[in-house]
Amino acid sequence: MADFYPYVIASLPMLHFKMKPPFPFERFLEVCCPLIPEKDFQLLRTLPQPEQYFEKGKRHQIIQKWIEFDVALRNELVRIRATKKHIEPAMYLRPDSYSGSSLAPAIMAANINTSVLDAEETLDETRWKALEELATGHYFDLDLLITYAYKLLILQRWENIRSADGTILLEQALQH
């Protein structure tokens, strides 16, 4: 398969946090499929989600960095929530090797927010900024497509939240 990263990336619309996604994630994959190598397409198609972070296997470097960041963010959230509930966080923490800047300020900002949606938005904005940092220096390569894909998934998540029936969400939340 040909390697047309410059063409694919140049044809993708810019993404901005909180915007409506320009297309679904599946459409993004359809655009990429004929223009990038099969192994790279499979990597995009199977980007690890949080429940898959600890599966064994070697990962692409930018995906590994993303996982390290996201696990550290989630661990910091656990620490703050556990402290608030006066429980020991150790049993809820996952191993992490993140060595970036402290995530505590972002987590604190999300935690003090009285709106659950606004708190989640703060967390996703922190994730978005981390993806921006990971993309720095990558212009027409697989790493940029990976960060683009994760951003698109964030936008799609928020589109699902905005279009969800509030009554159904409330009923589901009350049942758990």
Q: Which long-range contacts (CB under 8 A, 24 or more apart) does 91-100 make?
A: 94/53, 94/54, 95/54, 95/71, 96/68, 96/71, 96/72, 97/68, 98/68, 98/69, 98/71, 98/72, 100/69, 100/72, 100/130
Q: Please, which residues have CB within 8 angstroms of residue 175's CB and are 6 or more apart in sequence?
A: none
Q: How far is CA 47 from CA 11, 70, 77, 153, in A?
A: 21, 13, 23, 10
Please check whether residue 122 is in contact with residue 93, taking contact to mean a CB–CB distance below 8 angstroms. Answer: no
Q: Higher model confidence: residue 51 or residue 3? A: 51
Tokens 């993309």 found at: 135
Percent of the chain with pLDDT over 90: 69
Q: Domain count of the chain?
A: 1
Please check whether residue 101 is in contact with residue 132, taking contact to mean a CB–CB distance below 8 angstroms. Answer: no
Tokens 């930018």 found at: 62
Average pLDDT, the chain: 91
User: What band does 175 get if pLDDT is binned at 50, 70 and 90?
Assistant: low
Q: Which of 28-42, 52-66, 91-105 has the lowest mean pLDDT?
A: 91-105
What was the pLDDT predicted at 167? 63
pTM, rounded to two decimals: 0.89
- Tens digit of pLDDT for each residue in 130-168? 999 999 999 999 999 999 999 999 999 999 888 877 666
Domain, as residue range, for 151: 5-175
- Tens digit of pLDDT for each residue in 39-82? 999 999 999 999 999 988 889 999 999 999 999 999 999 998 89
Tokens 């993404």 found at: 15
What was the pLDDT predicted at 113? 85
